[in-house]
Structure 1
Amino acid sequence: MADVDKSFVAETVAPVSAGAKIDDPEALYQSLVRSLKRRKGFGIVFVQCTPAKGRELFLQLQKDLPQRQLGKLTLSEPIDNLLNVIAAREDIDQLKTLVIEGIEQSLLPYIQSEVGRNDYYKLEVLPPILDHLNRQRENFREAFGHLCLVFVVPPFALKYFMYRAVDFFDWRSGIWTFAAEKEQLSQETKRALDAEYSEYLTLSETERNEKIAALQNLIDEKDQSDQQRSQLLVEQSRVLIAAQDYETALRCCERAIILKENNHQAWSGKGYMLFDLGRDEEAIAAYDQALLIEPDDHEALYIKGYALNNLGRYEEVVTAYNQALLIKPDHYASLYIKGIALRNLGRYEESIAAYDQVLIIQPNDHKAIYNKGYALDKLGRYEESIAAYDQALIIQPNDHEALCNKGYALLNWGRYEESITAYDQALLIQSDDHAALINKGNALFNLGRHEESITAYDQALLIQPDDYEALCNKYEELYKKYEVLYNKSVALFNLGRYEESITASDQALLIQPDYHIALINKGNALGNLGRYGEAIAAYDQALAINPDDHGALYNKGNALGKLGRYEETITAYDQALTIKPDYHEALNNKGITLFKAGRYGEFIYFCAIALYSKGMAFWKQAIKR
């Protein structure tokens, strides 16, 4: 009988047997025959081998044990109750030996979630068939006291019996391990490793579990080399990737690396799984290991670059894709994401060049055309940008982003009516796009259509998503909530709705207290309501944040003048003129205030200087006031 073989503990089966280890297959078979001949009453025997070898052994046993009344039970479907299945046989009372094949079918549904672990057979859910065997073992002996059960099992199933059906397994009287011949093992391993990934995409769940188990059996073969085990684990990971089970596939690759540290496919596979799981830093580290082994793996460089892009490490992205493109210059995806990284670095000319290369390979890639348009927009080349967006929209008329960016380019170019049209088209596709509503509002504002702009701003503020602030930090062209409220306050101001303008400014300042232009607009609205003291306080707050805002100083001077505080008014105008010496309005108002303050000598001198520098128009205006 086969002895305990612990040469590959945890990765391969280490069977327990009553006798000495037997390496010769014929001697091992004769040992099994003798054991079955001597057997009286109830017993359990395990034969570990391939299904084909199991069928061969049964035919041999029929010839060599004619007196044993040998029967065979083939299980082609999962079962939960073996006792009832055996009891239902009409010939059960005449049999002395029953060979059971296919018990592994009841284990297959449980292997996928546990494969890739060193001890996959110990974890997670206990398969119901094993729970049944543990609980019913006494009933087996009572019901079949005359019968010897011979379980023909593959390696992975034997592990389950050994570790998960301990009570039942303890009654075994021997394990005979018929290892595959080396040539056969080599051929089966090669066949398994030559499989196409596309085949795995079409597998049903049952077929997938069978494939995983078949690979596990090859992994568990005691004569399998560590190098081949490592490759077979990678193959298991490919089966699991096809099923989008990335966590389990990752475990397979990690086990493969333990067996063979320089397994490039295992490192690359690990990187891929980590990338799909959103663990970008770890994915990059895994790809770095893969690239140490095979520096020219452009696919590894491509996904490493993608992970770097996710982390915002754009310089490294460009470096990775430059390396990938040296190996494969026409790799479309590398060129595409390189273009995105260059755009994010503000290197728009290079970004455009990358997209031009993409479009040589795939002329109708509307996303590449759209991104090229975005880069052109950033360079202020609005006409070319709009032409690119129009080209993208011919290919994909309902591209919401292209319509929005076209609207943005038209807005920047001052073609406000066309911008509104583009945003209206975008909003027909996605009516809750707050950014499109804001920019539509801006275009309406610039056309002086303030009522409509306020409506657009209000719609945007109602539907702003929870993560909008984070999006604003990522995309500079997006307006933050307090900026939208500010724009609304300016539109209200222009309509003469000063109280509402102040309310909108206050709402903006609740979110961003140091938003100084909102303080200025609030001051302007307060001034127009005749609330000059409050206006001055608002301007002082704005100037505490930005002391060099000449407009705020000028407006403060105007409010002080309304209160008759002429000396302070003149000081405010002087401060504004220090920052902007050619500030015509401040010069004009300073002269008027000198006159009102009774400082006639300074007024005459100031007017002479102004007349010399500004001409008769200034003089006439000053005299008139």
Structure 2
Amino acid sequence: MSKLSSIDDFEGFLIQTNKPYLISSKDIFINQEQEEEYQILLRSLTWTDGFGLFFIECITEQAERLIHRLKLDLPKKYIDILKFTEPVDNLYNIVNGLPNRDEINILCIKGLEYSLNKYIKSGFGGEGDYYKEDSVPRILAHLNLQRERFRDSFNICFLFLLPKFAVKYFIRRAPDFYDWRSGTFEFSTDKDILEEILRVIDKDIKQYLNNFTIEQCQENILKIDSIIEDYQDLHKKADLFLKKGLLLFKVARYKDAIDCFDLVLEINAQLSHVWNYRGIALLVSERIEESIICFDKVLELEPNKYEIYLFRGLGLFSLDRLEDAIINFDKYLEFKSDDYIFWEFRARVLANLERYQDALASLDKALEFKSDDYNFWEFRARVLANLKRYQDALASLDKALELKSDDYEIWKLRVIFFINLKRYQDALASLDKALELKSNDYEIWQFRATALANLERYQDALASLDKALELKSDNYEVWQLRAPVLAKLKRYQDALASLDKALELKSDDYEIWKFRVIFFIHFNSYQDALTSLDKALELKSDDYELWDHKTIALYKLKYYDEAIKSTKKSISLYPENSKSWNALGYLLLRKYSHEEPELNTPLAIYYEGFNFHGKQQSNSEESEYYQESLTYFDQALKFKKINDDDCLLYWTNRSYSLYYLGRYQEALASCTQSVKLKLRKDVVWANKGFILLKLGRYREAIESFKKVFKINFYYRDIHYSLASCYALKNNIKQAVKTLKEAILINYEYRERAKLDPNFDQIRQDRRFQKLMQAESNK
């Protein structure tokens, strides 16, 4: 949350003013005691010849009166005035640089309290934290060290005119310098001056506070400090502490402001507005829980003070208690329904809660009152995008551009929307406009490369990425994106070099290591892939996709047991990943397949007419594998909601397990589900043929095997299997013809056919016998 820079309740309090404070023009003191004190001071100054230190405790207005009297009463002494209106650190150099310093008898120094101002802490009776060891003002440290130089260098009587708190500072924090004083004289503030100062301070703070400069605030703080101890009335003292607190808040001295508000509340804890100010000061100081307690106190004293819900909501928002913040904003907006700023802010909080529909309603409410704010329309577009209402989102962006056509950030957001919608040509049009407005934004060039790459304009994409690197060569994301573009251009070594450069800049980014893994797998560098996988998994071991990639690399390197473990780890991280369930079933049965296919291709059934593969009906151990794998394939289908190629693959593999469990009817039903599979259709039709063969549905089996011929004429065992189907149908002519073709492909089929019971019906036929005897005749 952005810090509040001012208190809204104070608006209209102050305007900058240079009007001097009005004081009495009398040359004598109204109070007789003060007059007597002045006469003592006058005698002391008359008798002092040369160096001397005098401290006069009085306020600025009283100091003016004293200096005027002294000039009248000491006409033979040259009296000069050194007046400061800002902090100083080295008084010696300033005095030493005075052009007439050798002529000065008495030097009146005013305004030294400005050098103490930033060290002031609040407290009753001028005590507080004024005198902590770690708060020695630099000017006092300087005077402590330079007192002998003052004595030896200047034949001047120094008259320090300071308010009470400043004199106490000298006593406590510059004792070495103060101990050389010739005298200290106290002049309490005359009532007429005091009342006039108080009246002007009160008027200025009420009218002009928000327009005060920092210097004006500091000056008023000093004025308050100079008179606050002259008040014994606690209520007047509380009022001054309140005003001082407001001034301190204005100059961002929040802790000191809170201390002042605390002093007010010690006097009167029923002042709801002070609790409010204290709460706001705590809020901007990020002491959130304490601020909420203050706001609760305000509501306890004034239940109908609706604006408190605004501040309370901001506090809850800062604590990430977003739902509670919304409740408070709603209460505020019940009373202040036209506050479009907070309707918009409410929308942002709701968006953080992913309540996008409510956020949209809140934004629309803000737009009712402020339809010409392009920021609102831009944010509305973002909310609509989260609701997947992309066309409406683009319409909102267009509205924002009507109001602010030269805002490249809006054009940039438009680009992102088009890229997300895969409207890459439209994205390029907006990109060109964004680049007109700001051609030195590397992200724009990065987005341009993304659009171009998706349009397969890889050379142009690479040029855009290189431009992005000209602007920001240390951006690892650009180097990472450069790699696949270079790979598309078949510049594989350069692609790998780009990935390595990305890792130089961001070695702890597991996404780069992950991309490196994909790169190596794609180019069959499985050992390198494993090395990068180990690094990626060090950084993020809970990414199931990394374990899936590891499964592939291990499988390709024939580490089958490790591949199974990797797949099980992936499933433990993401149990709904259908691909992992399929891979687990596949890896379990891989060694029983007719061939060793890729993980994303179907398992192939053996021909079982005779044990020429060394395989009869599955044994009990194998049956356990088939049953377990069937469970995995069923899980894959359970989590696969879309009937795509992956889903068809799972049906194919499921039919494989059912076949070897002897559940041929179920196997056929599963295999029939998968005949539309695009990859390795020869395996699917062959599997279906073998299942139909088991079911004695020879005519249908023959049709399936014929489909295999059209796809892959040399599919293993397919000619022999088709011949056995013809033999079982007693179609001797086709059986012998097809078996002959099989023997021409692999002469071992002749010996197998001699013993295969599928050929028993035609074994006595002379044509079959002639084919079987051909080897011996040869």
| TM-score using structure 2 length | 0.60
Q: Does 1:385 align with 2:388?
A: no
Distance 1:276 1:402, change over 3 A: farther
Q: Does 1:122 align with 2:131?
A: yes
**Cα separation, 1, equivalents of 2:354 and 2:212:** 42
Distance 1:365 1:139, change over 3 A: closer
Q: Kindly provide the CA deviation profile for residues 384-418 of structure 1, in whole angstroms up to 9, marking residues without a partner as x.
A: 22332343355556767656655555455454665
SS at match of 1:196: helix
Within a 5 Å distance, the mapping from 1:95-494 to structure 2 comes to 98=106, 101=108, 103-116=109-122, 118-119=127-128, 121-123=130-132, 124-128=135-139, 132=143, 136=147, 151-166=160-175, 168=178, 171-172=182-183, 174-181=185-192, 183-201=195-213, 203-204=214-215, 209-220=218-229, 222-223=230-231, 225-295=233-303, 300-393=308-401, 395=403, 406=414, 409-410=417-418, 413=421, 415=423, 430-431=441-442, 455-456=480-481, 481-482=509-510, 486=514, 489=517
Distance 1:173 1:231, change over 3 A: closer
Once the 2 structures are TM-superposed, how far is the Cα of residue 267 of structure 1 from its aligned partner?
3.6
Within a 5 Å distance, the mapping from 1:551-562 to structure 2 comes to 551-562=579-590
**Does structure 2 conserve the Cα–Cα contact (< 8 Å) formed by 1:411 and 1:443?**
no
**Does structure 2 conserve the Cα–Cα contact (< 8 Å) formed by 1:573 and 1:586?**
no
- Match for residue 88 of structure 1? 101
Q: Counterpart of 1:122 in structure 2: which amino acid?
A: Y
**Cα separation, 1, equivalents of 2:506 and 2:350:** 26
Q: Counterpart of 1:535 in structure 2: which amino acid?
A: A
**Cα separation, 2, equivalents of 1:464 and 1:309:** 37
- Match for residue 32 of structure 2? 27
- Match for residue 524 of structure 1? 552
Greater Rg by CA: 2
Once the 2 structures are TM-superposed, how far is the Cα of residue 36 of structure 1 from its aligned partner?
4.9
- Match for residue 589 of structure 1? 653
**Does structure 2 conserve the Cα–Cα contact (< 8 Å) formed by 1:393 and 1:402?**
yes
SS at match of 1:73: strand
Distance 1:267 1:446, change over 3 A: farther
**Cα separation, 2, equivalents of 1:608 and 1:281:** 68
Distance 1:240 1:611, change over 3 A: closer
**Does structure 2 conserve the Cα–Cα contact (< 8 Å) formed by 1:106 and 1:127?**
no
SS at match of 1:364: coil
Task: Please point out which of 510, 535, 544 is paired with 2:563.
Answer: 535
**Cα separation, 2, equivalents of 1:256 and 1:571:** 81
Instruction: Report the identity percentage.
Output: 18
Once the 2 structures are TM-superposed, how far is the Cα of residue 286 of structure 1 from its aligned partner?
3.6
Once the 2 structures are TM-superposed, how far is the Cα of residue 318 of structure 1 from its aligned partner?
0.8
Once the 2 structures are TM-superposed, how far is the Cα of residue 248 of structure 1 from its aligned partner?
4.2
Q: Counterpart of 1:622 in structure 2: which amino acid?
A: K
Distance 1:134 1:562, change over 3 A: closer
Q: Which moved more, 1:73-82 or 1:511-520?
A: 73-82
Distance 1:293 1:468, change over 3 A: farther
Distance 1:573 1:404, change over 3 A: farther
**Cα separation, 1, equivalents of 2:266 and 2:499:** 54
Q: Kindly provide the CA deviation profile for residues 542-581 of structure 1, in whole angstroms up to 9, marking residues without a partner as x.
A: 3454566443232233334432278366335411343336
- Match for residue 73 of structure 1? 80
Structure 2 portions without partners, runs of 5+: 1-28, 463-477, 484-497, 594-617, 678-683, 690-704, 709-778
**Does structure 2 conserve the Cα–Cα contact (< 8 Å) formed by 1:400 and 1:430?**
no
Q: Which moved more, 1:328-337 or 1:300-309?
A: 300-309
Distance 1:213 1:616, change over 3 A: closer
Q: Counterpart of 1:376 in structure 2: which amino acid?
A: L
Structure 1 portions without partners, runs of 5+: 1-23, 93-97, 470-480
**Cα separation, 2, equivalents of 1:300 and 1:525:** 61
**Cα separation, 1, equivalents of 2:265 and 2:58:** 27
**Does structure 2 conserve the Cα–Cα contact (< 8 Å) formed by 1:573 and 1:587?**
no
**Cα separation, 1, equivalents of 2:43 and 2:310:** 65
Distance 1:538 1:138, change over 3 A: closer
- Match for residue 510 of structure 1? 538
Q: Counterpart of 1:107 in structure 2: which amino acid?
A: E
**Does structure 1 conserve the Cα–Cα contact (< 8 Å) formed by 2:235 and 2:267?**
yes
Paired residues in the alignment total 570
**Does structure 2 conserve the Cα–Cα contact (< 8 Å) formed by 1:519 and 1:541?**
yes
Q: Which moved more, 1:398-407 or 1:103-112?
A: 398-407
- Match for residue 571 of structure 1? 627
Distance 1:423 1:290, change over 3 A: farther
**Cα separation, 2, equivalents of 1:37 and 1:405:** 77
SS at match of 2:116: helix
**Does structure 2 conserve the Cα–Cα contact (< 8 Å) formed by 1:46 and 1:151?**
yes
Distance 1:305 1:419, change over 3 A: farther
Distance 1:71 1:254, change over 3 A: farther
Distance 1:107 1:28, change over 3 A: same
**Does structure 1 conserve the Cα–Cα contact (< 8 Å) formed by 2:380 and 2:393?**
yes
SS at match of 1:282: helix
**Does structure 1 conserve the Cα–Cα contact (< 8 Å) formed by 2:630 and 2:657?**
no
Q: Counterpart of 1:193 in structure 2: which amino acid?
A: I
Distance 1:89 1:500, change over 3 A: same
Distance 1:345 1:549, change over 3 A: closer
- Match for residue 9 of structure 1? none
SS at match of 1:25: coil
**Does structure 2 conserve the Cα–Cα contact (< 8 Å) formed by 1:373 and 1:384?**
yes
Root-mean-square deviation (Å): 4.9
Distance 1:388 1:236, change over 3 A: same
